[in-house]
Chains A and B, each alone.
Chain A
Amino acid sequence: MNKFNINNLDLFYGETHALKNISLNIPNRQVTALIGPSGCGKSTLLRTLNRMNDLVENVKITGDVHFDGNDIYQDSDVTALRMRVGMVFQKANPFPMSIYENVAFGLKAQGNKSKDEIDAIVEESLRGAALWDEVKDRLNSDAFGLSGGQQQRLCIARAISMEPEVILMDEPTSALDPIATHKIEELMDELRKKFTIVIVTHSMNQAKRIADKTAFFWMGELVEHNDTAELFNNPVDQRTQGYVSGEFG
């Protein structure tokens, strides 16, 4: 079963043709990795899935993106979409408030939950992001006091507090040390049981470790898409072969 069906998607930033005729299915409750050299369009594609590209000036999108069968570019309720499709960014972006308030932010924005309900979801989300034990005694202290890896897990907790169906991750470990990265990868292994994960990564090893499916992008095109092991071991296209063997990228 697919969570997203992307059909003939083209995206332009002004004159720049950033995504060229992309068609890709993203399976439910699996990890799909988007890989490729810088500027290949993988992050741009990720941002079409929760319509974050809407925030950029002069973006033009043709083709369609179906989420559970509904075209998200026909349906105008962006906030509803973003509640169901959470996002974690390349650089951890905790808000300048307490740990608790960070996780509660989205829930309070929704505005229909009681204090007790929010308290419960905050705890559940922090547990879900494997951060609870480290922060349970200092929920009211500044989120900036956390380490880089903890901040990123806080952002994951913030994303899952909305009980989304999908979590988009834009190079979530590129600013972290190997130990923190390892923790996040372990966490993703947990998260895949409940969520559909789409991750953009620069690291082929990371894709190999965590992804069920991998899609390789090259200059705005989707070159190849397959089961991760298949794509790395038996790439069909020469460009994929060159990239995964480390000849360029």
Chain B
Amino acid sequence: MLNRAQQDKVLLSAIWASATITILFLLWVIWHILSNGLSHVTWEFITTSYTRIGESSGIWSMIISTVYMVGLSLSIAAPIGIMTAIYLTEYSKPGSKVVKVIRFCTESLAGIPSIVYGLFGMTFFVTTLGLGFSILAGSLTLSMLILPVIIRTTEEALMAVPVSYREGGYALGASKIYTIWRLILPSAMPGIITSVILSIGRVIGESAPVFLTAGMVTQIPQSVLDSGRTLTVHLYKLTQELFSQSEWDQAYATATILIVLVLVLNMATKIVAARYNKASH
């Protein structure tokens, strides 16, 4: 039998080993992508549009489509999600029927495989509503997908706001809506911004529900009713038909852009959160 000190040592080394493995895996993936892709990421690659043949093929239109998709999905899902979370934490009675129904819905929504959303979006938004394969149909589908994430994380952020803030606000005769708007929501803002980061990552990362609803057209969309191909869909499409070295290079370069994009987004939102904290303090 091991004595207490030895048990501690074994457990501690297991913890260290796990942490090291995690970090190594992450670094390995990033290194693999960057070492294969970085040299092919040129200014020209980023700023020219895609051509199936020819040497100067780029991803500019996919970047634009991705930005549209992220922006539109968030501007649909974030207000609805945040307001739902406010209702759930601040207004509804805990344990009431409405709350149970909303909880059940959001949890079920979160558990559905994303391809099922794609199928639904293709049938309902694309065909029934007649939006066609478009950025709008894609964004509506993706907003349903990220809604549970936004609701859940915003709820957690709101619940983490100390009760003493609410009491302090009400004790000054501030109305409930004022206290929520000026005190509770700002206090929860870092958590809400985090939930938005998670959602951006999700929107960028999805492929199947996107090409089923927004299509794969490689042109720059002129409006939200045009089809567009996001970066992830583009990568998926490229990897399906890797015939030449140039296509391999493009795939790795696109993956590099995706990784860099996610890193930059993460850092940008962290900076925003930090600024926001400073401003509100």
A residues near B (Cβ < 8 Å) are: 50, 52, 55, 57, 79-83, 86-87, 89, 91, 93, 95-98, 105-106, 108-110, 142-144, 155, 158-159, 162
Contacts and interface: CB of A to CB of B under 8 A. Distances in A.
A105 B171 contact: no
A157 B223 CA distance: 54
Given A93-B165, A144-B281, A87 B171 contact: yes
B173 A105 contact: no
B164 interface: yes
B158 to A, nearest CB: 14
Contact of B172 (A83, A91, A143, A144): A83
Contacts of B164: 89, 91, 93
B201 interface: no
Contacts of A142: 281
Contact of B171 (A52, A91, A96, A143): A52
Contacts of B171: 50, 52, 82, 86-87, 89, 159
A96 B168 contact: no
A80 B186 CA distance: 25
Interface in B206-265: none
Contacts of B168: 89, 93, 95, 155, 158
A202 to B, nearest CB: 19
Contacts, number: 76
B174 interface: yes
B182 A83 contact: no
A55 B167 contact: yes
A142 B279 CA distance: 10
A105 B93 CA distance: 27
Nearest to B168: A93
Given A55-B167, A89-B167, A108-B182, A97 B173 contact: no
Given A87-B171, A109-B178, 18 more contacts: A52-B170, A55-B166, A55-B170, A57-B94, A79-B173, A82-B173, A83-B172, A86-B171, A89-B167, A89-B171, A91-B164, A93-B165, A95-B165, A96-B187, A106-B173, A106-B174, A159-B172, A162-B172
Given A89-B164, A93-B165, A155-B168, A80 B173 contact: yes
A191 B161 CA distance: 31
Contacts of B273: none
Interface string B152-172: 000000000010111111111
B175 A97 contact: no
Nearest to A110: B173
Given A93-B162, A95-B165, A98-B281, A79 B175 contact: yes
Given A96-B187, A96-B280, A142-B281, A82 B162 contact: no
B183 interface: yes
B21 to A, nearest CB: 38
A52 B175 CA distance: 13
Looking at B171, B174, B179, which has the most chain A CB atoms within 10 Å of its CB?
B171
